[in-house]
Amino acid sequence: MIEGLSHMTFVSSGDRTFSVSREKFFVAGDVWIAVMEGESLPTRSYNHVAFKVADEEIEPCLERIRSLGLEVKPPRPRVEGEGRSIYFHDEDNHLFEIHSGTLEQRLAAYERMNTEAAE
């Protein structure tokens, strides 16, 4: 049985090699993220990793992401109540999301939409 997310690895850059290439480590909550040197992804896609934040943290996160010079994508259309998101690419074409909602909120919002459409 899967207990949760252990870690994520992305190709990027660093100074010393202990694994297959140089790497840096970041911690997000209880998850550690390994970022390794290597070739960038050849293309961008919607495949992404999302990090949860409180709704009041969305704007400070957006300011921080922009201060790093990262490309912020325009927001996608949202169903009211599913939370807010910021999507951004790193320099190696990885897509990340900062999201303020929960799965329960999203499913409840979708259910409301289905109920309204059926009426």
pLDDT at 7: 60
pLDDT at 12: 67
Amino acid at 45: S
Sign of CA dihedral 55, 85, 101, 64: negative
Record the tokens describing residue 69, joined without a space. 């010079």
Domains (ranges, CATH) in the chain?
Answer: 1-39 (no CATH), 40-119 (3.10.180.10)
Active site positions, annotated: 23
Q: 7-12 and 31-37 as β-strands: parallel, antiparallel, unpaired?
A: parallel
pLDDT at 2: 43
Name the 3-class secondary structure at 33. Answer: strand
Record the tokens describing residue 103, joined without a space. 């799965």
DSSP 12: E
pLDDT at 115: 85
119 residues of the chain, pLDDT tens digit each? 445 566 666 766 555 566 777 777 888 878 888 878 888 889 998 888 888 888 999 999 999 999 999 999 988 888 788 889 999 998 889 898 898 888 888 888 888 888 888 87
